[in-house]
């Protein structure tokens, strides 16, 4: 099979399924041309000729990049993110840009300017978010893999909701250059796929140091796929009791318990631990993430990028009207929350306090990981919820992230692995590892496949 055939087939599949899932904001019309070029050049890289979808908050040179916001609805990047350049160098074909919650703020894709995406298992349900388009695209078979970003769970939660594998690497493992910033101390690009092997290949391809991102690590990038192995003997797994908290769907927990039993049978040891600060994780995250977002989003002023309000009388009105008309409600809520938390009178009580509690939490997690190889638990407290169920209740939506936020606050690698069904909907097991130990996560996920 040539890449051209494969890419044509992929575009047709996407075209046929878009009415159902709305997984893409933009399909790459040049994909077939790109594939012809790869065919002509011969197999050069690890992803030669393979179509991959890219979340639409990752810049693609000459291909519309919107972050699913009206304010960037006409934004054409003049360069590509490092991860996109790396995929291209490995021969991958950019299939198109996937839908997300506006600026990756949300857990359902319902805040997208382009409308919600739909869960691949039940189209009346959300696909999760913010990388919901990537999850729906992979789960319904449009592409074998997609890039997502994860600031507080945006790769793992939609992966769990759609029954696929999704990994958020260690903070610094992957360059953030050219990734539209939401919360810079938490954001990280990762991969979603049905098969663990495919995410392993893609992560090895996109990881590594980048001169454009001083937070990217110099650590050597392993060949995760070549190193895959299913041996769980001697692997020490910690299960934090707070991850089994009341209110979590009991059917979902049954699947998680059964999966952890499987690990025991495969030779792992499992022990209960405690992460007492987990109960504050959501508050800490929403203060820090919103503060960083309020600062990062200052650049959208109607002058430099994208949408510009019409009929304005002066520069102030240009700023105010462009932002008022260009941002959706959730983004405005975060900007106001963040601006407040950083303001002179509130900084000590909110931002500084949140940063202190974050440190406590980091210490708690590292103490556990000093003794264990993996932390395991559910990725989410529920399976995919109905479209419309939580969108008018921001606090319920925020609480939904309680189990995924810890790994971002501590910068740790974490994944969601398919772990059966509860009430007919997919369940995700979350695995968190030591910094830069993505391999142990891949292996443990592979052991279940």
- 69 vs 107, beta carbon nearer ligand GLN: 107
Give the number of residues written for the chain. 449
Q: Does residue 416 carry a catalytic annotation?
A: no
At closest approach, how far in Å is the CB of 282 from ligand GLN?
Answer: 10
Characterise 376 by phi-psi region: left (phi > 0), alpha (psi -120 to 50), beta (else).
beta
Q: Identify the residue among 107, 109, 255, 294 touching ligand GLN (CB under 6 A).
A: 107
Q: How far is 426 from 447, CA to CA, in rounded Å?
A: 18
Q: How far is 95 from 24, CA to CA, in rounded Å?
A: 10
Binding span for ligand GLN by CB under 6 A among 84-92, 99-107, 210-218, 240-248: 99-107
* CB distance 381 to 401 below 8 Å: no
- 14 vs 81, beta carbon nearer ligand GLN: 81
At closest approach, how far in Å is the CB of 34 from ligand GLN?
Answer: 28
The Cα-based distances of 187 to 154, 212, 400, 420 in angstroms read: 10, 16, 18, 28
Q: Identify the residue among 96, 106, 302, 378 touching ligand GLN (CB under 6 A).
A: 106
Given 108, 112, 130, 216, the catalytic residue: 130
> Considering the rule CB under 6 A, would residue 151 count as an interface residue with ligand GLN?
yes
Q: Does residue 352 carry a catalytic annotation?
A: no
- 17 vs 188, beta carbon nearer ligand GLN: 188
> Considering the rule CB under 6 A, would residue 412 count as an interface residue with ligand GLN?
no
- 49 vs 129, beta carbon nearer ligand GLN: 129
90 preceded by cis ω (within 30°)? no
Which residue in the block uniquely carries the two structure tokens 């908290």?
A: 245
Q: Does residue 130 carry a catalytic annotation?
A: yes
> Considering the rule CB under 6 A, would residue 166 count as an interface residue with ligand GLN?
no
* CB distance 330 to 111 below 8 Å: yes
- 68 vs 443, beta carbon nearer ligand GLN: 68
Q: Identify the residue among 22, 130, 199, 201 touching ligand GLN (CB under 6 A).
A: 130
Q: Identify the residue among 105, 335, 391, 402 touching ligand GLN (CB under 6 A).
A: 105
Residue 66: exposed, middle, or buried by beta-carbon count in 10 A (0-12, 13-18, 19+)? buried
Q: Identify the residue among 153, 169, 328, 378 touching ligand GLN (CB under 6 A).
A: 153
Which residue in the block uniquely carries the two structure tokens 């696909």?
A: 127
63 DSSP assignment: B
Given 4, 17, 55, 193, the catalytic residue: 55
Q: How far is 219 from 19, CA to CA, in rounded Å?
A: 43
> Considering the rule CB under 6 A, would residue 289 count as an interface residue with ligand GLN?
yes
> Considering the rule CB under 6 A, would residue 132 count as an interface residue with ligand GLN?
no
Q: Are strands 425-433 and 374-378 parallel, antiparallel or unpaired?
A: antiparallel
Provide φ and ψ at 18, rounded to 5°.
-60, -35
Binding span for ligand GLN by CB under 6 A among 4-12, 80-88, 148-156, 421-429: 148-156
- 31 vs 167, beta carbon nearer ligand GLN: 167
> Residues 79, 111, 187, 55: is their CA dihedral positive or negative?
negative
Q: How far is 87 from 447, CA to CA, in rounded Å?
A: 27
Provide φ and ψ at 81, rounded to 5°.
-60, 155
Chain positions contacting ligand GLN, by CB under 6 A: 104-107, 130, 150-154, 182, 289, 401
Q: Which residues are catalytic?
A: 55, 130, 154
């Amino acid at each position: 099979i040539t890449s051209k055939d494969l890419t044509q087939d992929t575009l047709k599949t996407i075209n046929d399924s878009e009415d159902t899932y709305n997984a893409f904001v933009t399909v790459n019309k040049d994909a077939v041309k790109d594939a012809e070029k790869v065919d002509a050049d011969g197999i050069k890289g690890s992803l030669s000729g393979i179509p991959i979808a890219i979340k639409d908050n990752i810049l693609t040179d000459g291909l519309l990049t919107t972050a699913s916001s009206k304010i960037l609805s006409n934004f054409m990047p003049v360069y590509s993110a490092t991860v996109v350049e790396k995929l291209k160098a490995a021969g991958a074909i950019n299939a198109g840009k996937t839908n997300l919650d506006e600026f990756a703020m949300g857990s359902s894709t319902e805040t997208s300017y382009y409308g919600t995406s739909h869960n691949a298992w039940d189209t009346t349900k959300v696909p999760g978010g913010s990388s919901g388009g990537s999850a729906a695209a992979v789960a319904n078979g449009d592409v074998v893999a997609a890039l997502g970003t994860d600031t507080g769970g945006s790769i793992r939660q939609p992966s769990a909701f759609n029954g696929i594998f999704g990994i958020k690497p260690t903070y610094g493992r992957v360059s953030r250059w050219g990734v539209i910033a939401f919360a810079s101390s938490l954001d990280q690009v990762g991969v979603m796929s049905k098969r663990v092997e495919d995410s392993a290949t893609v992560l090895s391809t996109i990881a590594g140091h980048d001169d454009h991102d001083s937070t990217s690590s110099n650590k050597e990038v392993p060949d995760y796929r070549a190193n895959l192995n299913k041996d769980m003997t001697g692997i020490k797994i910690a299960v934090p009791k707070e991850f089994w908290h009341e209110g979590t769907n009991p059917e979902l927990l049954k699947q998680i318990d059964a999966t952890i039993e499987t690990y025991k049978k495969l030779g792992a040891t499992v022990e209960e631990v405690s992460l007492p600060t987990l109960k504050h994780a959501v508050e800490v995250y929403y203060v820090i993430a919103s503060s960083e977002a309020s600062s990062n989003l200052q650049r959208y002023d109607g002058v430099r990028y994208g949408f510009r309000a019409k009929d304005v009388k002066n520069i102030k009105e240009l700023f105010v009207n462009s932002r008022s008309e260009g941002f959706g409600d959730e983004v405005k809520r975060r900007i106001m929350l963040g601006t407040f938390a950083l303001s002179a009178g509130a900084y000590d009580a909110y931002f500084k306090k949140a940063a202190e509690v974050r440190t406590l939490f980091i210490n708690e997690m590292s103490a556990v990981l000093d003794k264990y190889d993996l932390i395991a638990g559910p990725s989410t407290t529920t399976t995919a919820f109905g479209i419309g169920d939580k969108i008018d209740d921001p606090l319920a939506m925020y609480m939904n992230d309680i189990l995924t936020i810890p790994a971002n606050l501590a910068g740790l690698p974490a994944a969601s692995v398919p772990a059966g069904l509860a009430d007919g909907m997919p369940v995700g097991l979350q695995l968190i590892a030591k910094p830069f130990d993505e391999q142990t996560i891949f292996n443990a996920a592979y052991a279940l496949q």
